[in-house]
């Protein structure tokens, strides 16, 4: 089959113009196999993939020799790793190179679902910094919530807002990541739907939408703060030309050194990843710094006095003194104390879907612990647990009833290889499975 039949003719023409010398090598690489890669969660230890090849720009990134069935791996459901395409893990190198102040940071990931870059940022940020991870599309926001909950960091607020809703938070964030919706050419090898959806008109439409997103987002970035912009496409109108536009908004392009990584191509403003030159998919990343000095308008201090965490919930966390309690209807959240003021500021302007750790709900006098708590990195390590074999864990993850022998009674954690999978309630001769129904394994 010729390139012209497989890929839109206009795409082939554009790539020929962009890569006059290595067009053939590029096109051949689209027929190659897409490498499978994962990024390990530093907070959830496992000996999986230890022997697999490391990704040079990401300390916890691994290329897998073969694509296992992630669905049937309980360690995956425990949040011990995230399946992510390797080029996009270059975010880590960018994070290391930007000149961030040595203080707690406020970070925004504006276009966040399914959560690849947000979970990565959470692993890179220190625990006194927090992330606002936002996804405007409700169904995609649900997937984002699932992945953030699995990753287990409490220093995170999940919102569901349009970019313009952030413009009112003038000069608020230290770092804003815009992983923009794009024409998706870099995914052609991995996702054949991206080929069907491609058109020249769509490229133009994406470019206009990206500028619009950036315009709103740049207002909420502090002077001296960094805007990281990325796409998974090769189109200059969605990449370098947009960075040129951002320079007209008072942002200044910031160079990222790629000399340690042969194959990554430096463009006028950013870095371009091509599948015939790096072991990964098509990707573009660039950084801009907002002009002005490092000072910023401090958001007003909230006059609401935060409540300490109720004694009844203290036993569930490793360091309960580091949290305040927040009640929303029947739901009880533990919010890291250092985020309390920012939470009340953001709550007034944004639609918050989740924040900190959802501890559980009160049903009359009974406390029902939430799945979020089971997967949290802050859960008390001494909570009673029942270790499940792989077969038992799969039954549990299907929301069925594994046959286990245990003298324990009441709420216990189901674990596999020491990693929490969720809650069970044990009664004489009976087990209630509290794994969330809409997360269960359906595949047979």
Q: Measured from the CB of residue 213, what is the shortest distance to ligand SAM in angstroms?
A: 5
Q: How far is CA 163 from CA 135, 168, 177, 214, in A?
A: 9, 10, 12, 8
Q: Which stretch binds ligand SAM (CB under 6 A): 11-19, 52-60, 105-113, 166-174?
A: 105-113
Contact call for residue 114 and ligand SAM (CB under 6 A)? yes
- Encoded tokens for 421: 């999978």
Q: What is the total residue count of the chain?
A: 444
Cβ atoms within 10 Å, residue 35? 21
Residue 163 or 360: the one with the smaller Cβ distance to ligand SAM is: 163
Closest to 229 (Cα-Cα) out of 82, 160, 245: 245
Q: Which of 111, 206, 220, 232 is catalytic?
A: 232
Cα 410 to Cα 427: distance, rounded to the nearest angstrom: 6
Q: Which stretch binds ligand SAM (CB under 6 A): 112-120, 287-295, 332-340, 396-404?
A: 112-120
Residue 113 or 413: the one with the smaller Cβ distance to ligand SAM is: 113
Site string for ligand SAM, 207-226 (x = CB under 6 A): --x---x-------------
Burial of 1 (0-12, 13-18, 19+ CB in 10 A): exposed
Active site residue 232: yes
Closest to 285 (Cα-Cα) out of 300, 304, 299, 266: 266
Q: What are phi and psi of 144, to 5 degrees?
A: -60, -45
Q: Could you say which of 35, 61, 79, 163 contacts ligand SAM (CB under 6 A)?
A: 163
Site string for ligand SAM, 135-154 (x = CB under 6 A): xxx--x--------------
Q: Could you say which of 58, 113, 176, 228 contacts ligand SAM (CB under 6 A)?
A: 113
Taken in order 238, 243, 247, 251, the sign of the CA dihedral is positive
Closest to 276 (Cα-Cα) out of 285, 266, 264: 264
Residue 35 or 163: the one with the smaller Cβ distance to ligand SAM is: 163
Beta strand pairing call for 221-231 and 173-179: parallel
**Contact assessment for residue 418 and residue 380, using Cβ atoms and an 8 Å cutoff:** no
Q: Site for ligand SAM (CB under 6 A): how many residues?
A: 16
Which residue is associated with the tokens 């990024």?
A: 39
Q: Measured from the CB of residue 414, what is the shortest distance to ligand SAM in angstroms?
A: 28
Residue 129 or 231: the one with the smaller Cβ distance to ligand SAM is: 231
Q: Which stretch binds ligand SAM (CB under 6 A): 111-119, 259-267, 275-283, 318-326?
A: 111-119
Cα 435 to Cα 242: distance, rounded to the nearest angstrom: 44
Scan residues 170-199 and list those touching ligand SAM (CB under 6 A): 179, 181
Site string for ligand SAM, 319-338 (x = CB under 6 A): --------------------
Sites of contact with ligand SAM (CB under 6 A) = 111-117, 135-137, 140, 163, 179, 181, 209, 213
- Active-site positions? 232
């Amino acid at each position: 089959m010729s390139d012209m039949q497989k890929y839109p003719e206009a795409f082939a023409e554009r790539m020929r113009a962009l890569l006059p010398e290595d067009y053939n090598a590029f096109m051949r690489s689209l027929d190659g196999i897409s490498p499978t890669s994962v990024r390990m969660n530093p907070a959830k230890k496992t000996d999986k993939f230890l022997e697999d090849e490391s990704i040079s720009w990401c300390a916890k990134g691994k290329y897998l020799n073969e694509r296992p069935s992630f669905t049937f791996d309980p360690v995956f459901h425990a949040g011990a790793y995230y399946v992510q395409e390797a080029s996009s893990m270059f975010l880590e190198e960018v994070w290391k190179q930007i000149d961030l102040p040595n203080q707690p940071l406020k970070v925004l990931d504006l276009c966040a679902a399914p959560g690849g870059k947000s979970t990565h940022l959470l692993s890179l940020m220190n625990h006194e910094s927090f992330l606002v991870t936002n996804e405007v599309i409700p169904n995609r926001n649900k997937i984002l919530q699932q992945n953030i909950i699995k990753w287990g960091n409490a220093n995170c607020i999940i919102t569901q807002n349009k970019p313009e809703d952030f413009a009112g938070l003038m000069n608020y964030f230290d770092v804003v990541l815009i992983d923009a919706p794009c024409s998706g050419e870099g995914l052609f090898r991995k996702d054949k739907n991206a080929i069907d959806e491609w058109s020249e008109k769509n490229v133009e439409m994406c470019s206009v939408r990206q500028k619009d997103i950036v315009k709103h987002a740049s207002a909420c970035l502090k002077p001296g703060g960094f805007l990281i912009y990325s796409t998974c496409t090769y189109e200059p109108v969605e990449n370098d030309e947009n960075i040129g536009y951002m320079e007209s908004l008072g942002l200044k392009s910031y160079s990222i050194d790629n000399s340690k990584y042969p194959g990554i191509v430096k463009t006028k403003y950013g870095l371009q990843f091509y599948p015939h030159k790096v072991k990964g998919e098509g990707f573009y990343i660039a950084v801009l710094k907002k002009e002005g000095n490092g000072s910023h308008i401090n958001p007003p201090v909230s006059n609401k006095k935060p409540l300490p965490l109720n004694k009844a919930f203290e036993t569930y966390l490793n360091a309960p003194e580091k949290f305040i309690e927040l009640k929303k209807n029947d739901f009880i959240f533990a919010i890291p104390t250092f985020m309390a003021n920012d939470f009340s500021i953001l709550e007034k302007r944004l639609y918050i879907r989740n924040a900190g750790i959802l501890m559980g709900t009160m049903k009359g006098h009974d406390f029902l612990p939430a799945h979020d708590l089971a997967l949290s990195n802050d859960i008390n390590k001494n909570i009673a647990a029942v270790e499940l074999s792989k077969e038992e864990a799969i039954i549990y993850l299907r929301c069925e009833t594994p046959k286990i022998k245990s003298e324990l009674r009441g709420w216990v954690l189901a674990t596999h290889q020491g990693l929490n999978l969720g809650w069970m309630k044990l009664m004489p001769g009976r087990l209630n499975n509290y794994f969330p129904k809409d997360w269960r394994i359906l595949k047979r």
